[in-house]
Chain A
Amino acid sequence: MSLAVDELRTVLDTPRGTVRAVDGVSFELRDGECFALVGESGCGKSMTALSLVRLLPEAGRIVGGAVALDGLDLLGLPEAAMRAVRGRRVAMIFQEPASALNPVLTVGRQITEVFERHTSIRGAEARARALELLKSVGIPEPERRFDEYSFQLSGGQKQRVMIAAALAVEPEVLIADEPTTALDVTIQAQILDLLAGLQAKRRMTLLLITHDLGIVARMADRVAVMYAGEIVELAAKADFFRAPQHPYSQKLFAALPTPQRRSGGLAVIPGQVPPLSQAFAGCRFAERCDRVYARCRVEAPALREPAPHHFARCHLREAGAAGPRAEPSVETGAGAPEATQAAVLLEVKDLKVYFPIRRGLLRRTVGHVKAVDGVSFALREGRTLALVGESGCGKTTTGKALLRLIEPTAGSVQHAGVELTGLPRAAMRAQRAALQIIFQDPYGSLNPRLRVSEILLEGMRSLRVLDDDAARLRRLAELLQEVGLPAEALARYPHEFSGGQRQRLAIARALAVAPQLIVCDEPTSALDVSVQAQILNLLRTLQERRGLAYLFITHNIAVVEYLAHEVAVMYRGKIVEHGGVDEVLRRPKHPYTRELLAAVPAID
């Protein structure tokens, strides 16, 4: 089996013009290998995958190139013949398992359906085969799960069912589009193990699409890096990780937060991916490249081969291959906790948040969901405490309960000697300026109907920061400069900004009332690696300059290593381990912490 993609071109027709989402992509999947397609959002990697199986959205169309599966021209097949290829020879699994399963069909039915479509297996035999599949993807009690509906399964189990359905008729190629992005890190590790195991056992070819270099390091045999609709680098995994040849790939590595980079800032790739509706004269990365020279802007580089079987699309590689990636040596002591003598800003004792479960006609409370169940910690001035855990462990609820955005059920939160729980609304207002929050989703955290100036002024007006709007606007102009946005941003609407810029706006909004503590609720998890680095650098600079304390809520261990001074690991509403960052991450004591750390896909 081999799947050869040659000069594939796919465009999307949008109101803003034709977007060349995939612009001349060529690669080849070899029998039984795992080929990883890496890139940031909007680089065309998902569109490439959808083009291979011809499942493009309505506005998309393939305008050129060829896709050959063992010599069979997939792009020229009539739709009826293509349907026989899809699922049977080339199967696909998606990022969001919840929306990929039909909620009104049982799990078993969705697998047996595949047999009915592609084989003559029916009835009891189909059921037996489906049970076997569910077992092989690690679903416990497959007999019971067979007759359940997708809402009765957890996210990881849904993804397992998706994989089982995709593998039902033993396809030769499996395309996995960000299969673990929606899952927790421990579940991600299980799913990746499962995919690797199945691939080895069935000699299946896996096309893995991801933005996470850690996953690539764990899974791939060969890697292709996509940028702005093109493949900019293509190599065997070992070569790629040892010596990336394209400046973009090199920067991606440098932007990853690691403990070694604690002392300095992260490398950032300035700017963002250019819109693909324009025509490019030179190199597409030229605007963001720090090694750009005159030729890059006028001549588009071809894909060169500076080292054997290692391709890169860069003029610099005419001069030969780049050297191995330089990783700064571990600076021992750089990340060691400084003396924790700073004053305690916020003291949390035995905080509990229970949500009542109500049943019946009179809505009587029959029990409680213990989202946060006795959490205690202290936050010091100018320090960062990372609250780590998987989704549903209560870390976000804790953050919101501190600010009384959710009413705590019991326990104490003291800020500068004032007990916040039970404080009347008017008295709480006086505390609000000191305690602020930044949210995960930069698209949901800014009201789309208000101008940026209105959004930023809201808090200052409400908390009476400064006397009049003129003074406030002067302060905001300075603030925007501090977070790296132009002052004219004030007159615009949030939708005119990219995700990273919106997150800067959200930070500026919190800073506008001069807080002492900011609860950062996964502020970078919706962002691409290069943008994440910009935001992390910004947060660090602000901390150094203003002495801010952060409660940093995250599931990303790499970010914790880079930014945090202390770590608290949460599991099922409780803190199971708490200590200095090196202590917890290097010498974990609790078994859950060990499991969590082991699950993180590492690059080295």
Chain B
Amino acid sequence: MPVFLVTDVLLWLLVAAAGIYFLYCRRHAHLAAPWRRVLQSRAALASLVVLGAFAAAGLLDSLHFRPQLAGSRLYSSEVLSVLDVALSHLRTNREKTYSAPFATRLYAKEQIETPEGKSIRDYPRLAYGGRDLESESDRPADIALRAAAGLVAALVLSFLLFRVVGGAARRSPDIPWSAAGWTLSLVLAIALPLYVLSFEYHVLGTDKVGQDVLYQALKSVRTALVIGTLATVTMLPFGIAFGIIAGYFRGWVDDVIQYVYTTLNSIPGVLLIAAAVLMMQVYIDGHAESFPTVAQRADFRLLMLCLILGVTSWTGLTRLLRGEALKLSTLDFVQAAHAFAVSDARILARHILPNVAHIVIISLVMDFSGLVLAEAVLSYVGVGVDPATTSFGTMINAARLEMGRDPVVWWSLAAALAFMVLLVLAANLFADAVRDGFDPRVRIGAAPA
């Protein structure tokens, strides 16, 4: 039975909107030109591929359903996603507690009964990690073999990929398709061996309750994407409307909007968000009947967190757009529209908004990574996502205790950081390229030399 979580629907709507925007751009040369400039950068194309890999994981994780219980007509109360099914071995292969990456034994000593009936204190074998090994000394050879199998698969796929890339390169030679091809090959060369290995080993170890860290990290991607995109989208209407209205109408309207955002900016952001999240938690606790499953409750909290982050972070965009609208409203084409008695709403929609679109796009992409990081901080402080939601923040929060342990458990933190840094770095590199591509100094409106 499919389950439509609110954030799922919103995320897919966003994908649909992006698709429509893409088609719209294709038909309008002046809209497509800056994007083409963005894609002409190798860094942009490479980071786009990485972002695409993250997005694929996140979107697969956004198709939820409740599986039918075996042998009955009832549905499980557990909500699963397509990604959960693809990684079901990771989800179900739970150990008892911590184990290091590629380990065959637990990270803590226990009393074990030997076959001879003696009781000794040693590191017990894992239930799943390396379970098919005849002897533990075969482990390096087994790892090498499985990794090689994954690499061969990656090579075959890359070979097919480069045939596609070659075709694309012939059709549009100005875009460095080979950069995309190499990045995707690299992603495959890392992902496929890991996938093959993950059937036999916990490649990034397990956490305190024995859950696979790789699985957690992959599940966190969706949370980060939801926060990064939905919070940005929430912010947009406030940022755009207040910004261009303040800049265009000036006078008391401008004064009021400026007063609001200056006040909002002076309140410490974390405090404001913490207060809003705690109030929301009270509401959730008081209306338990509205949330039949844990997943729905956690999802509601995630959605609310996006809204709260969005509502408190529009000031930067407003400030930028106000300045730009101030400048635009004195330009001749706006004056000409006034001379035709064109209404203010029409001037805002036709003359001001399209001419600030590049700023909106640039700040959209740049704010994304900021919001992903903000989620990590908030979850670490404890006012972020629901504890049942896996996110980079909750992973790091849990790792806080592990870092104090002796011997130290480093892999949870390392995995969370590596995934998050990769995501944010790719987003930042892409944002850089977008800013260069949409830079007004190279806008198509410039005079031909």
Contact with A along B338-362 (1 / 0, CB 8 A): 1111110010001100110100000
Contact with B along A1-38 (1 / 0, CB 8 A): 00000000000101000010100000000000000000
| A445 and B333 within 8 A (CB) | yes
**Shortest beta-carbon distance, A401 to chain B, in Å?**
12
Residue among A12, A432, A444 making CB contact with B340, cutoff 8 Å: A432
Residue among B30, B340, B346, B448 making CB contact with A448, cutoff 8 Å: B30
A498–B331 CA distance with the chains assembled, in angstroms: 19
- Residues of A with C-beta under 8 A to B332: 439-441, 444-445
Complex: chain B residue closest to A455, CB-CB: B333
Contact with A along B299-310 (1 / 0, CB 8 A): 000000000000
Q: Known: A12-B449, A19-B449, A443-B447. Contact between A449 and B354, CB under 8 A?
A: yes
Complex: chain B residue closest to A47, CB-CB: B449
Contact with A along B431-449 (1 / 0, CB 8 A): 0000000000001111111
**Shortest beta-carbon distance, B130 to chain A, in Å?**
57
Top 10 nearest A-B pairs (CB, nearest first) are A459-B340, A445-B332, A448-B445, A449-B354, A439-B332, A429-B341, A432-B341, A447-B333, A462-B342, A444-B332
Say yes or no: is B29 at the interface (Cβ < 8 Å to chain A): yes
Interface positions, chain A 375-417, Cβ under 8 Å from B, are: 400, 403, 405
A444–B30 CA distance with the chains assembled, in angstroms: 17
| A509 and B445 within 8 A (CB) | no
| A405 and B449 within 8 A (CB) | no
Q: Known: A447-B351, A493-B30, A495-B445. Contact between A405 and B335, CB under 8 A?
A: yes
| B445 and A439 within 8 A (CB) | no
Say yes or no: is A419 at the interface (Cβ < 8 Å to chain B): no
Complex: chain A residue closest to B346, CB-CB: A462
Say yes or no: is B267 at the interface (Cβ < 8 Å to chain A): no
Q: Which residues of B contact A (CB under 8 A)?
A: 29-30, 331-333, 335-343, 346, 350-351, 354-355, 357, 443-449
- Residues of A with C-beta under 8 A to B446: 495
- Residues of A with C-beta under 8 A to B333: 444-447, 455
A472–B340 CA distance with the chains assembled, in angstroms: 15
**Shortest beta-carbon distance, B335 to chain A, in Å?**
5
| B341 and A439 within 8 A (CB) | no
Contact with B along A447-459 (1 / 0, CB 8 A): 1111000110011
Complex: chain A residue closest to B338, CB-CB: A405
**Shortest beta-carbon distance, B189 to chain A, in Å?**
34
- Residues of B with C-beta under 8 A to A509: 336
| A495 and B342 within 8 A (CB) | no
Contact with B along A511-527 (1 / 0, CB 8 A): 00100000000000000
- Residues of B with C-beta under 8 A to A439: 332, 335-336
Interface positions, chain A 452-499, Cβ under 8 Å from B, are: 454-455, 458-459, 462-463, 493-495, 498-499
A494–B350 CA distance with the chains assembled, in angstroms: 15
| A495 and B351 within 8 A (CB) | no
Say yes or no: is A312 at the interface (Cβ < 8 Å to chain B): no
Q: Known: A447-B333, A449-B354. Contact between A428 and B30, CB under 8 A?
A: no
Complex: chain A residue closest to B174, CB-CB: A15
A432–B343 CA distance with the chains assembled, in angstroms: 13
A448–B341 CA distance with the chains assembled, in angstroms: 20
- Residues of A with C-beta under 8 A to B343: 462
Q: Known: A432-B341, A439-B332, A462-B342. Contact between A448 and B444, CB under 8 A?
A: yes
- Residues of A with C-beta under 8 A to B449: 12, 14, 19, 21, 42
A436–B449 CA distance with the chains assembled, in angstroms: 31
Task: Say what secondary structure dominates the interface of chain B.
Answer: helix
Which of B333, B354, B443 has the most C-beta atoms of chain A within 10 angstroms of its own C-beta? B333
- Residues of B with C-beta under 8 A to A449: 30, 354-355, 357
| B445 and A437 within 8 A (CB) | no
A/B interface sample: 14 pairs, CB < 8 A: A42-B449, A425-B341, A432-B340, A437-B336, A439-B332, A439-B335, A440-B332, A447-B354, A448-B355, A448-B445, A449-B354, A450-B350, A462-B342, A493-B29
Say yes or no: is A435 at the interface (Cβ < 8 Å to chain B): yes
Which of A42, A435, A440, A462 has the most C-beta atoms of chain B within 10 angstroms of its own C-beta? A462
A13–B338 CA distance with the chains assembled, in angstroms: 41
Q: Known: A446-B333, A493-B29, A495-B444. Contact between A458 and B342, CB under 8 A?
A: yes
| B340 and A443 within 8 A (CB) | no
| A400 and B335 within 8 A (CB) | yes
- Residues of B with C-beta under 8 A to A405: 335, 338-339
- Residues of B with C-beta under 8 A to A513: 340
**Shortest beta-carbon distance, A356 to chain B, in Å?**
12
| B340 and A445 within 8 A (CB) | no
- Residues of B with C-beta under 8 A to A437: 335-336, 339
- Residues of B with C-beta under 8 A to A441: 332
A405–B448 CA distance with the chains assembled, in angstroms: 31
**Shortest beta-carbon distance, A358 to chain B, in Å?**
12
**Shortest beta-carbon distance, A321 to chain B, in Å?**
35
A439–B335 CA distance with the chains assembled, in angstroms: 9
Complex: chain A residue closest to B33, CB-CB: A495
Complex: chain B residue closest to A437, CB-CB: B339
| A494 and B340 within 8 A (CB) | no
A447–B357 CA distance with the chains assembled, in angstroms: 13
A446–B445 CA distance with the chains assembled, in angstroms: 10
A152–B343 CA distance with the chains assembled, in angstroms: 40
- Residues of A with C-beta under 8 A to B331: 444-445
Complex: chain B residue closest to A443, CB-CB: B447
| A445 and B341 within 8 A (CB) | no
- Residues of A with C-beta under 8 A to B448: 275, 498
- Residues of A with C-beta under 8 A to B351: 447
- Residues of A with C-beta under 8 A to B341: 425, 428-429, 432, 462-463
A429–B448 CA distance with the chains assembled, in angstroms: 37
Complex: chain A residue closest to B351, CB-CB: A447
12 extra interchain contacts, Cβ-Cβ under 8 A, other than A458-B342, A462-B342?
A42-B449, A432-B341, A437-B335, A441-B332, A443-B445, A443-B447, A447-B333, A447-B355, A448-B444, A449-B354, A459-B336, A495-B444
| A462 and B340 within 8 A (CB) | yes
Which of B332, B335, B337, B443 has the most C-beta atoms of chain A within 10 angstroms of its own C-beta? B332
- Residues of B with C-beta under 8 A to A432: 339-341
- Residues of A with C-beta under 8 A to B337: 458, 462
Q: Known: A447-B350, A448-B445, A458-B342. Contact between A495 and B335, CB under 8 A?
A: no
A437–B448 CA distance with the chains assembled, in angstroms: 26
Which of B335, B341, B448 has the most C-beta atoms of chain A within 10 angstroms of its own C-beta? B341
| B339 and A403 within 8 A (CB) | yes
Complex: chain B residue closest to A454, CB-CB: B350
**Shortest beta-carbon distance, A454 to chain B, in Å?**
8
A439–B397 CA distance with the chains assembled, in angstroms: 61
- Residues of A with C-beta under 8 A to B350: 447, 450, 454, 458
| B339 and A499 within 8 A (CB) | no
Complex: chain A residue closest to B445, CB-CB: A448
**Shortest beta-carbon distance, B190 to chain A, in Å?**
35
A494–B29 CA distance with the chains assembled, in angstroms: 12
A499–B446 CA distance with the chains assembled, in angstroms: 11
- Residues of B with C-beta under 8 A to A463: 340-341
A42–B448 CA distance with the chains assembled, in angstroms: 9
Residue among B335, B338, B339, B445 making CB contact with A494, cutoff 8 Å: B445
**Shortest beta-carbon distance, A8 to chain B, in Å?**
18
Which of A432, A449, A506 has the most C-beta atoms of chain B within 10 angstroms of its own C-beta? A449
Complex: chain B residue closest to A425, CB-CB: B341
A428–B339 CA distance with the chains assembled, in angstroms: 10
A448–B445 CA distance with the chains assembled, in angstroms: 6
A14–B331 CA distance with the chains assembled, in angstroms: 28
Contact with B along A184-208 (1 / 0, CB 8 A): 0000000000000000000000000
**Shortest beta-carbon distance, B348 to chain A, in Å?**
13
- Residues of B with C-beta under 8 A to A499: 447
A461–B338 CA distance with the chains assembled, in angstroms: 13
| B444 and A445 within 8 A (CB) | no
A275–B449 CA distance with the chains assembled, in angstroms: 8
**Shortest beta-carbon distance, A425 to chain B, in Å?**
8
- Residues of B with C-beta under 8 A to A494: 445
| B355 and A436 within 8 A (CB) | no
